[in-house]
Amino acid sequence: MATRKEVADRAGVSVAVVSYVLNNRTIVKEETRRKVQDAIRELGYRPNLTARSLKTKKTQQVAVLTHYIGNPFEAGLLLQIEATAKQHGYFVFVQTYEPDREEELRSMLMGRVDGILLLGQSFGEETLGYFDDLQVPVVSAMKPAAWDADGSNPIPYVDIDWLPAMRSLVSHLRQRGHEKIAFMTAKESQLNYAVRHQAFLEAMRLEGLELQEDGHLDGSGRFEQAQAVLGELLDAEGKGGTAAEFTAIVCANDLMAAGCLAACRERGVPVPQDIAVAGCENILMSSQTWPPLTVIHYPRQAAGEMAMNMLLDRMNGIKTESILLSGSLIVRAST
Amino acid sequence: MATRKEVADRAGVSVAVVSYVLNNRTIVKEETRRKVQDAIRELGYRPNLTARSLKTKKTQQVAVLTHYIGNPFEAGLLLQIEATAKQHGYFVFVQTYEPDREEELRSMLMGRVDGILLLGQSFGEETLGYFDDLQVPVVSAMKPAAWDADGSNPIPYVDIDWLPAMRSLVSHLRQRGHEKIAFMTAKESQLNYAVRHQAFLEAMRLEGLELQEDGHLDGSGRFEQAQAVLGELLDAEGKGGTAAEFTAIVCANDLMAAGCLAACRERGVPVPQDIAVAGCENILMSSQTWPPLTVIHYPRQAAGEMAMNMLLDRMNGIKTESILLSGSLIVRAST
């Protein structure tokens, strides 16, 4: 079995350069990389990656914890995160996060990753301390929900600045004559929507609007749930024909907004005349529904890339601050 | 530092059971798992996973190679693959596959994974031989394109039986009066669509229809490309107002079909009156476009789960055969 030194000699480079190539570092010129790869092939050299990572204590692996990659918004973030990680020679693990299994997650990830990228999950204090001890940095694409009333959460993040974005949406709805506006979210399964919910409530207050009694809907973050929940309300009898007191719904993600549209369409409830519907992400689907959806545009490509770069910085000991991007309102026919 | 034996003693179980828990095997009862995890925490035991995997020569990791997880169809497959892998204590790597970088891929994955799951990519002979030598099995969700004219490709796969599915679609279009039917695919970037393309051509032949000269469109697998390519054809002047000779388009994926709808909508070309459009996957979006899309339904949940189980079988030395599922035609307003 050839050694790394023999590979270096044959390629006419130093052992360090061979290591760079094996670690897939982009600083190596293409021509040099080719020479080293030729030498590796000719000599049949097989680096034992597992043994190597034991020595350097680096795995070149990062974990991305998803909620539900069936949501194209998450898949889009993941796409960008993976592309950025790959550029820097890192592999991306994908794991669906389950809040009640953090203990298991800790033992599964230990020794396996150099960093963890959350998609807005709010790790408990114990879990954060655990990875801190292991010197495995944790950052989040999308701001995690605060732990307590003072709004603190030590996880650095990339997100959009939700309050101005929500305010422009609520203000737009008010201008179209809507004063009774409901908010649909995922109460249990996706805590990071609490950040969007909070911004919505504050935007309503700033616009001088009050939330109705029935103004909080739980669509579980999914198209099907949203469709069922709004459908039930529309079918129930109330003063104005249905039990729904609101005339507009803002949804914490676009999948739920599309589900609301479907519920209205099935029942012949005209959108936006009877109910206006808006989303918060601007996935591709939202421009193709009938009617197309008014949304807050979330720049997910930039957010995914920045979050991964923030994690890479932290893994290299560079402390970067959280980043707030601008969301923008896209008005389409659903409002 | 506590040893595994000490953990076992404290939990009142055998060392093997501790190993099962650490390897995340589901055969351990919940109560026992809890005892072992308590002992691990109380003793501060830290298994070195990297060292352990060196000893067992297993990484408990599998790679999934994607084309473009911006396509909800791929994301849906991935979701199911990851869930199935997790149930068996495996971690899933996600890597975007680039056909011209197989050499790099080989050195990146070596020593890192116990198995590789393709999403229809057609590994070269050298790459397949390489992983065969390493005893890393390769299976595919979606049939990879054949290497040569005799239709051979040694990678076992799960896919739908495309010919009957395509025939039911072409037959439906013919019944609606369409004889000039085009096919939109991704010529370079996604070779597995060649399987769908081939089935379409054979279905046309069986239905007694001939493909037009302009009947092959390259939409690169993406919404935006499909929209641009069809848009250009509709804008170019031909005999009947546009240069498009066909009256119906079948797209190799739903994203392209949605892009075709958008191109028609922008130009006021009525669908299905002037052009009928159909897709091949049945992603959620396809039921929400205007008009909603006629599609072949691809049972992606079952396919993702079966493909992962097939890979697990192969990793355990069990040779399973390729599996063909049934696709079904869903007729909506776009045809």
Tens of pLDDT, residues A157-191: 999 999 999 999 999 999 999 999 999 999 876 77
- Helix (H) and strand (E) counts for chain B? 12, 12
Residue A23 touches chain B, beta carbons under 8 Å:
no
Backbone angles phi, psi at A11, to 5 degrees: -80, -10
What is the pLDDT averaged over residues B258-279? Answer: 96
What are the beta bridge partners of residue B309? none
Tens of pLDDT, residue by residue over A106-123, are 888 888 899 999 999 988
- Is the Cβ of A51 closer than 8 Å to some Cβ of chain B? yes
Confidence tier at B54 by pLDDT (50, 70, 90): very low
Q: Which residues pair with A64 in a beta bridge?
A: A94, A117
Residue A82 C-alpha from the chain's centroid:
13
Of B72, B82, B289, Cβ closest to residue A72: B72
Contact A82 B94 (CB under 8 A): yes
Q: Is the dihedral of CA A251, A255, A261, A264 positive or negative?
A: negative
CB contact under 8 A, B82 and A95: yes
- Give the per-residue pLDDT at B148: 59
Q: Give me the amino acid identity at A170.
A: V
Pairing of strands B248-251, A216-218: unpaired
Q: Express as a percent the part of chain B with pLDDT over 70.
A: 90
A61, A70, A107: residue with CB nearest B75:
A70
* Cβ neighbours of A48 in B, within 8 Å: 54, 111
Residues of chain A with CATH 3.40.50.2300: 57-159+301-326, 162-299
For helices B4-11 and B30-43, angle between their N-to-C axes, nearest 10 degrees: 130
What span, in angstroms and rounded, lies between the C-alpha atoms of B76 and A69? 7
CA distance B103 to A29: 16
Does B333 contact A at CB distance below 8 Å? no
**Confidence band (pLDDT; 50, 70, 90) for B151?**
low
pLDDT at residue B63, as a whole number: 95
Percentage of residues in chain B having pLDDT higher than 90: 59
Query: With respect to CATH, is domain B56-159+301-324 assigned 1.10.1060.10?
Result: no
Tens digits of residue pLDDT in A46-98 = 665 545 454 456 888 999 999 999 999 999 999 999 999 999 989 998 988 98
- Would an 8 Å CB–CB cutoff place B154 in contact with chain A? no
Please check whether residue A107 touches B, CB under 8 A.
Answer: yes
- What's residue A326's pLDDT? 97
CATH class, domain A57-159+301-326, is alpha beta
Helices (H) and strands (E) in chain A, counts: 12, 12
Q: Do the Cβ atoms of A92 and B92 come within 8 Å?
A: no
- The beta-carbon neighbor of B22 closest among A46, A83, A107 is A107
Band of pLDDT at residue A124, cut at 50, 70 and 90: confident
Q: Does A27 touch chain B (CB under 8 A)?
A: no
Residues of B127-149 as b/e, b for ≥16 C-beta within 10 angstroms? bbebbeeeebbbbbbbbbbebee
Assess B24–A contact: CB distance below 8 Å, yes or no: yes
Coil, helix or strand at residue A126: helix
Nearest to A285 among B48, B51, B288 (CB): B288
Complete edge-to-edge strand list for the sheet that includes strand B294-297: B216-218, B181-185, B248-251, B276-279, B294-297, B328-330
Q: Could A49 and B76 be called an inter-chain contact, meaning their C-beta atoms sit closer than 8 Å?
A: no
Task: Search chain A and give the residue with CA nearest B67.
Answer: A79
Closest CA relative to residue A172, chosen from A12, A284, A287, A331: A331
For residue B52, the Cα-to-chain-centroid distance in whole angstroms is: 32
Residues of A in contact with B224 (CB under 8 A): none
Q: Dump pLDDT digits (tens) for B57-102.
A: 688 899 999 999 999 999 999 999 999 999 998 999 898 898 888 8
The answer to whether the Cβ–Cβ distance between A50 and B53 falls below 8 Å is yes
Cβ count within 10 A of residue A96: 15
**Does A103 contact chain B (CB < 8 Å)?**
yes
Other beta carbons within 10 Å of B239:
7
Question: What is the nearest CA distance from B164 to chain A, expressed in angstroms?
Answer: 28
Domain covering A4-47 in this structure, CATH number: 1.10.260.40
d(CA A231, CA A227): 6
Residue-averaged pLDDT of chain B: 88
pLDDT at residue B205 greater than cutoff 60: yes
> How far apart, in whole angstroms, are the C-alpha atoms of residue B229 and residue B226?
5
Say whether pLDDT at B34 is over 90.
no
- Give start-end residues of each CATH 3.40.50.2300 domain in chain B: 56-159+301-324, 162-299
Q: In this structure, what token pair is assigned to residue B240?
A: 């009947």
Does A43 touch chain B if contact means CB atoms closer than 8 Å? no
Run of H or E residues at B322: none
Distance from CA of A163 to the nearest CA of B (A): 28
Q: Report CA-CA distances (Å) from A91 to A201, B112, B183.
A: 39, 10, 36
The per-residue DSSP string of B212-244 comes to -TT-EEE-TTSHHHHHHHHHHHHHS--TTSSS-
Q: Using a CB-CB distance cutoff of 8 angstroms, which residues of chain B are in contact with residue A92?
A: 93-95
Cβ of A22 and B107 within 8 Å?
A: yes
DSSP A45-64: ----HHHHHHHH---SEEEE
Q: Which pLDDT belongs to residue B70?
A: 92
Tell me the percentage of chain A whose pLDDT exceeds 70.
90
Other C-beta atoms closer than 10 Å to the C-beta of B317 total 8
CA B138/CA B1 separation, integer angstroms: 39
Residue A14 binned pLDDT confidence (cut-offs 50, 70, 90): confident
Q: Which residues of chain B have a CB within 8 Å of the CB of A24?
A: 104, 108
- Are B190 and B221 contacting, i.e. CB atoms less than 8 angstroms apart? yes
Which whole number is the average pLDDT over B209-225?
91
Using a CB-CB distance cutoff of 8 angstroms, which residues of chain A are in contact with residue B50?
50, 53-54, 59, 111-112
Confidence check: pLDDT of B52 > 80: no
Instruction: In whole angstroms, give the CA distance from residue A224 to residue B193.
Output: 30
Question: Quick one: average pLDDT of B262-271?
Answer: 95
3-state secondary structure of B96: strand
Place of tokens 């993040």: A157
Higher-confidence residue of B42 and A95: namely: A95
Residue B48 pLDDT > 60: no
Q: What strands lie across the sheet with B115-118, from one edge to the other?
A: A323-325, A157-160, A138-141, A115-118, A61-66, A91-96, B91-96, B61-66, B115-118, B138-141, B157-160, B323-325
Residues 6 or more apart whose CB falls under 8 angstroms from that of B206 comprise: B167
Q: How many residues does chain B have?
A: 335
CA dist B173 and B248 (Å) reads 8
Cα–Cα distance, A197 to A93 (Å, whole number): 30
Q: Which residues contact A246 (CB under 8 A, 6 or more apart)?
A: A180, A181, A182, A212, A214, A215, A275
Structure tokens at B161: 């039986």
Going by the DSSP 8-state scheme, the letter that residue A114 receives in this structure is: S
DSSP-assigned beta bridge partners for residue A63: A93, A116
What pLDDT, in 10s, does the model give residues A210-266? 988 778 999 999 999 999 999 999 998 765 566 678 999 999 999 999 999 999 999
Neighbours of B255 (CB within 10 A): 29
- Give me the CATH code for the B162-299 domain, please: 3.40.50.2300
Interchain CB contact of A22 with B (< 8 Å): yes
Q: Which residues contact A291 (CB under 8 A, 6 or more apart)?
A: A261, A271, A272, A332, A333, A334
* Sequence-ordered list of residues with C-beta below 8 angstroms from that of B298, at least 6 positions apart, any chain: B73, B160, B280, B281, B282, B327
| pLDDT value for B105 | 87
What's the pLDDT at A54? 47
Among A66, A65, A64, residue whose Cα is nearest residue A82: A64
* pLDDT tens sequence across A282-306: 999 999 999 999 999 999 999 999 9
| Separation of alpha carbons A264 and A287, rounded Å | 17
- Quick one: pLDDT at residue B191? 75
Using the Cβ of B94 and the Cβ atoms of chain A, whether some distance falls under 8 Å is answered with: yes
Q: Which residues in B lie closer than 8 A to residue A47 (C-beta atoms)?
A: 110-111
Higher pLDDT, A14 or B175: B175
CA distance A95 to chain B (A): 7
